[in-house]
Amino acid sequence: MELTVESLDSPALTKAQLADLLFDEIGLNKRESKEMVDAFFELISQSLVTGEDVKLSGFGNFQIRTKAPRPGRNPRTGEAIPIEARRVVTFHASSKLKEQIQEGTAGSAS
């Protein structure tokens, strides 16, 4: 399966486009394709919500990081406001993905 930027309707790859690719390349019907894409992202989301790291071989790692509370300020008024502790998702690309991006071959099978 070869996906190029030119084959996309927009500069962003959407879930609908992923489902269409499953339909075109694998032969799943449209409903099954959409359900598979939705299930994939739901599984990733639920794993992150429960605090588990998500590792996609050859792509990268999604991790939950807890940020400590810190002082901040309103940029418009300059008023000091506290920023509460929160959990954020971080993504670290794999070395394989980084190499593909540097070589400009992320969309082609070489």
In angstroms, rounded to a whole number, what is the distance separating the alpha carbons of residues 100 and 102? 5
Each of the 110 residues of the chain gets a pLDDT tens digit; together they read 555 545 556 678 899 999 999 888 888 889 999 999 999 999 999 999 999 999 999 999 999 999 999 999 999 999 999 999 999 999 999 999 999 999 886 555 44
Q: What is the DSSP-derived secondary structure letter of residue 94?
A: -
28: exposed, middle or buried (Cβ count in 10 Å: 0-12, 13-18, 19+)? middle
Alpha-helical segments (H) within the chain: 15-25, 30-49, 95-103
Predicted local confidence at residue 110, as pLDDT: 44
For 67-78, b/e burial (b = at least 16 CB within 10 A) is: eeeeeeeeeeee
> What are phi and psi for residue 22, nearest 5 degrees?
-65, -40
42 contacts 50 by C-beta, under 8 angstroms: no
In angstroms, rounded to a whole number, what is the distance separating the alpha carbons of residues 80 and 3? 48
Predicted local confidence at residue 34, as pLDDT: 93
Predicted local confidence at residue 105, as pLDDT: 62
